[in-house]
Structure 1
């Protein structure tokens, strides 16, 4: 049995660092999950993979102050939802920087996933801070450093906070693999700051 700390813990990695706080928003998690699941304009996007058009294995919504290009597509922003904006303000205080965009993902069950990638788009800057709030079903989050072979694995539970900072996005990749036996949904909000204008 793993006993998690009740305060944030910085984990130093090769060429990067993580802030890991498993119960950061435990008190608010149920209410946040209920509102976001019903009130966010979730969309099913398509992606091109090996010459074929496929549905992304999750629903998503890009929200913020500017369009964002990732996975070969430009996403126009939805206006800020009041609750999402409030969560962003709280994270800005904790992280010491404002955020002007957030990618929300809804994983409907364990069959939905996110493949290996890094949030290394040029508009995120040299050392982007990505603040990730998880709500709903606990899912395994995996990280790998292709250069050294180093790997990490964290269970992102209901109300948890993970902040990726430093050089992480230029040296590490992360993923949320498919997980058999999970029949409950998970919502993830990843706040970021884009250079705009």
Structure 2
């Protein structure tokens, strides 16, 4: 049974600074609601939607070539390539909009990032399956900074060993979810498909690739 976290009180300076710790064992996950205000989020979504070099990546599933159920892009410092789902991505150099987002996150959490994976969920049929961000090039305890713009989508966690232990939140326009510590060792996450009519959503996960 999913636990719906009660995270909908009005944002204020204290919650923006410290965020809201999710009650998950063996994990360090903090949600900053309204990290970007509505006007700023609208402009960022417009910029990213229209200027990002989106790609329809293809992977192999059960011996067949299949399209990923979303569009993706990989930006970052020169030479910071990234591999996942048997896909190798070479970085496109940072855009002004991405630098702006990155700088605001880095100033808050005092962590530097050298790359970002962008995902465009075009409608409710687009999704990402259960996974952990635990590729070797991300290090032992990766810091993953996830920012969302556009439509609100369900974000679900499940424990790797106790799969009945699950949490669910909604990532809203302008929200920032920080995953650190041992989170990727013990938890998976996903964005499930939905039959509801959904507007597009853009998610960015900032990372530090070795």
Taking structure 2 as the reference length, the TM-score comes to 0.89
Runs of 4+ in 1 over 2 A off after TM superposition: 1-5
CA shift, 1:128, in A, is 0.8
SS of the residue corresponding to residue 43 of structure 2 reads helix
Tell me how many residue pairs correspond in the alignment.
195
TM-score, length of structure 1 as denominator length: 0.95
2:3 paired residue number: none
Matches within 5 A, 1:132-171: 132-149=146-163, 150-171=165-186
Q: 2:112 aligns with which of 79, 90, 98?
A: 98
* Contact 1:26/1:160 (<8 A) preserved: no
1:51 matched residue in structure 2: 63
- Aligned to 1:19, the other structure's residue is in SS state strand
Q: Corresponding residue for 1:17? A: 28
1:61 matched residue in structure 2: 73
User: 2:132 aligned with 1:118, yes or no?
Assistant: yes
Gaps of 5+ in 2: 1-5
1:79 aligns with 2:84: no
Q: CA RMSD in A?
A: 1.3
Distance 1:90 1:10 in 2: 20
Are the aligned partners of 1:103 and 1:191 in contact in 2 as well (CA < 8 Å)? yes
Shift of 1:2: 6.4
Whole-angstrom distance in 2 between the partners of 1:36 and 1:115: 23
Deviation at 1:12, TM superposition (A): 4.1
Unmatched 5+ residue regions in structure 1?
A: none
Name the CA distance, whole Å, in 2 between partners of 1:135 and 1:187: 5
Q: How far has the Cα of 1:146 moved from its partner? A: 2.0
